[in-house]
Amino acid sequence: MKMLSATIVIFFSANLAGCGWLGLKDRSSDYLLSEETEPTYIPRELSTSSVGQIYPIPAIETSSEQLVSFDVPRPQPASVNTFEQLVKIQSFDEGRWVLINISPSELWPRLRNVLNRNGVPSALAQGSSGLIETVWVTFSSDEDNSHRFRFNVSPGVQVESTEIAIIHNQAVRGAEENAVWPTVSDSDQRELDMSTLVANDLAGVNDFASVSLLAQDIGGASKVEIISPEVADPFIRLKLGFDRSWASVVYSLDKGGFSTIDKNRSEGIFYVNYTEPTSAEVGFFARMFGGSDEPDIIETNYRVLVEAVGSDVEVKIVDASGNSVKRADVSRLLAILRSNLS
Give dist(CA 5, CA 25) in Å, integer. Answer: 28
Higher per-residue pLDDT: 23 or 59: 59
Residue 5 has pLDDT above 60, yes or no: no
Is residue 153 predicted with pLDDT exceeding 70?
Answer: yes
pLDDT (0 to 100) of residue 26? 74
Share of the chain above pLDDT 90, in %: 29
Least-confidence region, from 56-60, 77-81, 223-227: 77-81
pLDDT score, position 40: 75
CATH architecture for residues 87-215: 2-Layer Sandwich (3.30)
Whole-number Å distance between alpha carbons of 12 and 62:
57
* Cα-based torsion angle of the residue sequence 298, 250, 78, 296 in order, rounded to the nearest 10 degrees: 10
Phi-psi region of 266 (alpha: psi -120 to 50; beta: other; left: phi over 0): alpha
Q: Which CATH architecture has domain 224-339?
A: 2-Layer Sandwich (3.30)
* Residue 57 confidence class, pLDDT cut points 50, 70, 90: confident
Residues 6 or more apart in contact with residue 14 via CB below 8 angstroms: 21
Looking at residue 90, its pLDDT comes to 86
Determine what percent of the chain falls in helix, strand and coil, rounding each to the nearest 5: 30, 25, 50
More confident residue, 222 or 131: 131
Under a CB-based contact definition with an 8 Å cutoff, are residues 81 and 158 in contact? yes
Q: Is the pLDDT of residue 167 over 70?
A: yes
311 touches 52 (CB < 8 A): no
Q: Which residue has the higher pLDDT, 314 or 217?
A: 314
pLDDT digits (tens, 9 = 90+) for 91-122: 887 789 998 888 888 888 888 888 888 888 89
Residues 6 or more apart whose CB falls under 8 angstroms from that of 269 comprise: 263, 303, 304, 305, 306
Per-residue pLDDT of 235-257, as tens digits, reads 999 998 899 999 999 988 888 78
The alpha-carbon radius of gyration of the chain (Å, integer) is 30
- Give the pLDDT score at 307: 93
What does the pLDDT look like over 168-211, one tens digit per residue? 999 999 999 999 999 999 999 999 999 999 998 888 766 555 55
pLDDT computed for residue 188 by the predictor = 93
- The angle at the Cα of 189, spanning 202 to 153, to the nearest 5 degrees, equals 40
Q: Please state the domain extents for the chain.
A: 87-215, 224-339
Compute the mean pLDDT over every residue in the chain, rounded to the nearest whole number: 79
CA distances from 228 to 192, 203, 225, 236, 334 (A): 40, 36, 10, 9, 11
Beta bridge partners of 309: 312
Instruction: Look at residue 72 and tell me whether its pLDDT is greater than 70.
Output: no
Backbone angles phi, psi at 101, to 5 degrees: -90, 60
pLDDT at 83: 47
| Contacts of 192 by beta carbon, 8 Å cutoff, 6+ apart | 89, 96
